[in-house]
Each structure stands twice: as C-alpha cells, then as structure tokens.
Amino acid sequence: MHVLVSGAFGNIGQAALESLLHHGHHLTAFDTPTRRNRHAARRFRGRVRVCWGDIRDPQAVARAVAGQDAVVHLAFVIPNLSATGKGSEEAPDWAWAVNVGGTRNLIAAMEAQPRPPRLVFTSSLHIYGRTQHLPPPRRVDDPPNPAEHYSRHKAAAEALVKGSTLKWVIFRLAAALPVTLILDPGMFDVPLNNRIEFVHREDVAIAIAHAVTSEAVWGKVLHIGGGPRCQHLYHEVAERILVTVGVGMLPEEAFSRTPYPVDWLDTEESERLLRYQQRTLDDYLADLRRALGWRRGLVRAFRPFVRWLLLRRSPYLDRATAWRLA
C-alpha cells in the first residue's frame, strides 16, 4: 500500500514509519522542513519519500495526499514536549490553525481523490478531561469533557473525521512518552497520585501498521494504551524515570495538585483487533538509558545542580524554594 504519514518526524511518527516499512508499505512522510525534522529524515533516506510542507497549506497537503491508499494523521501541536517549540496552551490560535485547520485540509484533499484513501487519526485520552474522581477505566463511550485547548482541538478534529465521507478509525492514545520528558516543565503538571496509562511509541506504531490493512477497525473509536501492565500512578512513573536518569525522585511540592486529564483505559477491543501490546515502562526506561548514554554519569556527578535546574522549571516553586529542596 501507499501510505502517507503526517507529522512523520515527531515522537510517534518516526516509530510509525519504521513499523510501516517493516510491513512492506510504500511511504510518504509529510512534515514541516525544520532543522530538527530534516535531521530526523536522514535515517529514512532512500526508504521513504519526503514531502515537505505546512499542513495549513491546502495545496501542499493535496500534493502529499495524491495517490495514497491510506493516511496516518499524526501532525498536531501538543501542550508540552512539542517539537515546534510552542505548545497548544501558550499559542492556542496558531495551534487551532495547525490542528483543526490542518485536519480539515487533509480530509478535503482525501475526499477529492478518485479513490479516497483510508484515514487513521490519532486523538488522545485528554479528550475525557479530568476524570480522577470517576472509577477507572475510561471507555470509548464515555462523554468527552475537554479541559484545555489541546483536547478541545482533538474533539473538533474528531468531529471533522466522523463527519467526513472517508473510511476512518480514531485512536485515542494513552501517554506515549518521548525520551526528552525529563527536560520539559510539563512533567510537573501531573499530580503524583494521578492515574496514568503508559503506551510505548513502538506499540502505537504496531497498532497503526496493523490498522491500515485491517477490515475490522473502520468507523470505530479505539483506545490505544499499554494495557493493565502499563497502568500506574504518576509517582511510580516519575520516580522510575528520575532514578533512571540519575537525578532521583524530586519533592512532592514541585508537582501540581490539580488533577491532570489522563487516566487508565479500557483497551480490550483494540488489543483484540490489532495485537499491539508488547512493551511496558521497563522497555521505555531501557530506551532512556540508551539515549542518555554517558550523560547519565555526568548527571550523577552534578546531581545537586541538575536537581536545582529541574526544580527551577517547576511552575509550582519559586527559585528560593527550588534551591532549598534540591
């Protein structure tokens, strides 16, 4: 099959490219021509057709969509950890143009094709809002209750997908953490007692690759999460990550106390249809160790200073308190 991946050089996008290549598909990668994306594209040279462009540009999108059998739509500005350097919460109007306007452009280009391709759209569990007061797990028929710009954008994009004439499937993803999590102040926005479900990005990629050739998923909304083995409280996730990188657990005062819009998910149907749940948080931590390499020793050598630098990035502490707690 000829498959287009939007947002191809992001966290999940690169894993999706590898998984789709493994399954023998002919790929087109669509993304913005930033220095970071151009660097990421080098590893796919000769294996993937790259189509640079802005998803807000209907003509660029139409060029990328032409001749495709399936489209995997990943391009979306997120609240934290965004490769764009800007998040959906600090630049909501710009993010809406990318997230919702871009989805609208993509659907229009797909519907204009002589043989419209299938659409795999990645949404998020954020769409349910703050649910810590409800018994888990979240189910796909739970009512959306978006709590921030990002999840409102996801809800609007889902509505566009459902209202289209395309064959579509919507994946609501659990927390697929990039290895740069430790560097982002967003890590402090989740209370330590918050339920969170992890999913390894390579498992998301397997689900995507299996979906494009499936005949059983179209017209469905599916949760894509790691399953019961990956259901944690956030303090377990945060502590294991911080210990792995050599920093050690940070004090509770650095973390928010406002419930965060993540939770445990019912993934029974998606796993039955797509058979993708292979990895756990242990695999992510092994990835993190490999990515950091010799820098873990450096972190340990300067541990108090590194802890102070991280605590300074918490929006819940002033600088004096950050220094005292480091």
Domains and CATH numbers, the chain: 2-182+200-233+262-282 (3.40.50.720)
Query: Which region, left, alpha or beta, applies to residue 293 given φ > 0 means left and ψ of -120 to 50 means alpha?
Result: left
Q: List Cβ<8 Å contacts ≥24 apart for 243-246.
A: 244/285, 244/288, 244/289, 245/182, 245/288, 245/292, 245/296, 245/299, 246/296, 246/297, 246/299, 246/300, 246/303, 246/306
What is the residue type of 138?
R
H/E element holding 4?
A: strand 2-6
Q: Tell me the pLDDT of the chain averaged across its residues.
A: 95
How far is CA 213 from each of CA 122, 167, 207, 314, rounded to the nearest angstrom?
A: 16, 12, 11, 44
In terms of Cβ atoms closer than 10 Å to its own Cβ (0-12, 13-18, 19+), residue 143 is: exposed
Token pair 């017209």 is found at 219
Instruction: Give the pLDDT means over successive 10-residue stretches in the chain (326 positions).
Output: 98 98 98 96 97 98 98 93 72 96 99 99 98 98 97 98 99 92 81 98 99 98 99 98 94 96 99 99 96 92 92 87 78
Query: What pLDDT is recorded for position 13?
Result: 98
What is the residue type of 152?
R
Tell me the pTM: 0.95
Cα–Cα nearest to 204, from 173, 228, 179, 227: 173
- The predicted-structure confidence for 300-326, as pLDDT tens digits, reads as follows 999 999 999 999 999 999 877 877 887
Token pair 């928010």 is found at 256
What is the residue type of 135?
P
Token pair belonging to 161: 């997908």
Query: What pLDDT is recorded for position 319?
Result: 73
Query: What pLDDT is recorded for position 181?
Result: 57
- The predicted-structure confidence for 95-106, as pLDDT tens digits, reads as follows 999 999 999 999
Query: What pLDDT is recorded for position 321?
Result: 81
What's the full length of the chain, in residues?
326
Whole-angstrom distance, CA of residue 181 vs CA of residue 172: 20
Token pair belonging to 134: 């409800």
Query: What pLDDT is recorded for position 185?
Result: 84
Q: Are 88 and 99 in contact (CB under 8 A)?
A: yes
Whole-angstrom distance, CA of residue 173 vs CA of residue 140: 11
